Structure 1
Amino acid sequence: MNPEAGFPRVTGSADVSVRPALPQDADEIARIQVVTWRTAYRRALPEDVLDHWDAEAATASWASAITSPPTPGHGVLVALERNTVVGFAAFGPAELTPGEAPDPAGPTAELGTLLVEPRWGRRGHGSRLLAAVSDVARDGGAARLQVWLLEDDRVSQGFYESAGWGPDGWARTLDTGGSPLREIRWHALLADEEARP
């Protein structure tokens, strides 16, 4: 999304920052995605997905998500260390799970993915991305933010738990063509700006 087109610019210190993704970031986002999946999710994701990665198709998909998001509520942010893209997050309006009623507190946004390349881990990039997505979602009118996590992904669960998130009671099973993947939905309420300390 174009930072000049009404999308808030999110920044950090001189050495680290978060900003809206630009079309030229698509190649690096796709590279970070596959490197992170191959490192962190090798046992969970089907080998075919990881070993036959189509970098060109992934880059095109990310370029489209950046330049032509499906709704104004969709977006992609990147984390930077100096001028290097080290991670990214994609988000949009949440879809209701079958049998789920709309949240009476207001709209829910969903974090589709948040990945930091492993070699840049433990430097606060994931926390900055999560805070930036929360701010953008709140500014867009969302009352709640959710994400689906693999049931066995204790690292991601620990990250979200440390940020004040928790499971909301919903689960789903994905058919990946290999072993089914079970995911648990986690969520956090987005407090109003005035309510924040």
Structure 2
Amino acid sequence: MTSPTADVSVRVAWADDAEGIAAVQVRAWRTAYDGLLPADVLASLDPAEIAAAWHASLSTPKDARNRVLVALERNTIRGFALTSPASDPDTDPIDDGEVSDLTVDPAQTGQGHGSRLMQACADTLRADRFTRGLLWIAATDDALRRFATGAGWAPDGAHRELDLHGDGAVTVKQVRLHTDLSE
């Protein structure tokens, strides 16, 4: 007798997925940025407010190539990713696509959701005719860096510092990875 396998998949997100995406995002941010961002910033993350923003974004994307993908286990969202044309000034928005977020619920890591999302991102960027994929990650996120490099992504030397509030009080240093999407 074989044991049953989980019903897992990745698909394009719907507006009705907003609440599930927001819940994963809040849990992931509170874990990933613990010690990097002030505790009050993390505590103030409001899942309902974030879900409303996701719902609006999913209902009316600004570009047909802006996509949100969700990793599912049965009908429960376990992670999400965003793909779009690259927006950095040193990139070509025709040839360069970006994975602007790749998030897996911290309680669900190591179960293949990230790998499925990463592959779906590459496939989606290719389908949108991008030839190079870009991914910004926190400079201190060694686990995500190992995961991405294991999937064929490599640093390209670019780095930036995000100012989350616009006043310099909360910043996150990031490095950029890239991969060749041409077939």
User: TM-score higher than 0.5 here?
Assistant: yes
Give the superposition deviation at 1:16.
0.7
- 1:55 — aligned with what? 47
Residues 96, 131 of structure 2: 8 Å contact kept: yes
Partner residue, 1:186: 177
Contact 2:86-2:92 within 8 A present in 1 as well: no
Residue 139 of structure 1 deviates from its aligned partner by 0.7
The one of 84, 99, 111 aligned to 1:92: 84
SS of aligned partner of 2:152: coil
The aligned counterpart of 2:131 is: 143
Report the Cα distance in structure 2 between the residues aligned to 1:31 and 1:75, rounded to whole angstroms.
19
Query: Tell me, what secondary structure is at the counterpart of 2:35?
Result: coil
Counterpart residue number, 1:6? none
Asked if structure 2 preserves the Cα contact closer than 8 Å seen for 1:77 and 1:90, the reply is yes
Identity of aligned residues (%): 40
Instruction: Give the structure 1 partner of residue 11 of structure 2.
Output: 19
- Point out where structure 2 has 5 or more consecutive residues left out of the alignment: none
Residues 81, 101 of structure 1: alpha-carbon distance in 2 compared, 3 angstrom cutoff: closer
How far 1:57 moved relative to its partner? 2.1
Contact 1:151 1:183 in 2 (8 A): yes
Q: Which amino acid aligns with 1:115?
A: T
TM-score of the two chains, using structure 2 as the length reference: 0.89
Partner of 2:108: 120
Q: How far is the alpha carbon of 1:159 from its aligned partner?
A: 0.7
Aligned residue type for 1:80: L
Gaps of 5+ in 1: 1-12, 193-197
The equivalent residue for 1:36 is 28
Residues 65 and 76 in structure 1, CA contact (< 8 A), matched pair in contact too: no
How many equivalent residue pairs?
Answer: 176
- 1:48 to partner: Cα distance: 3.4
Partner of 1:131: 119
Name the amino acid aligned to 2:163: D
TM-score if structure 1 supplies the norm length?
0.83
- C-alpha deviations, 1:15-70, integer Å up to 9, x for none? 11001111111001001001011112212233333111122221111112212111
Name the CA shift for 1:61/1:101 in 2 (closer, same or farther; >3 Å). Answer: closer
Q: Distance in 1 between matches of 2:153 and 2:146?
A: 9
Aligned-residue offset at 1:179: 4.7
The structural deviation recorded for 1:118 is 1.3
Deviation of 1:14 (Å)? 6.6
Q: 1:154 to 1:14 in 2, by over 3 A?
A: closer
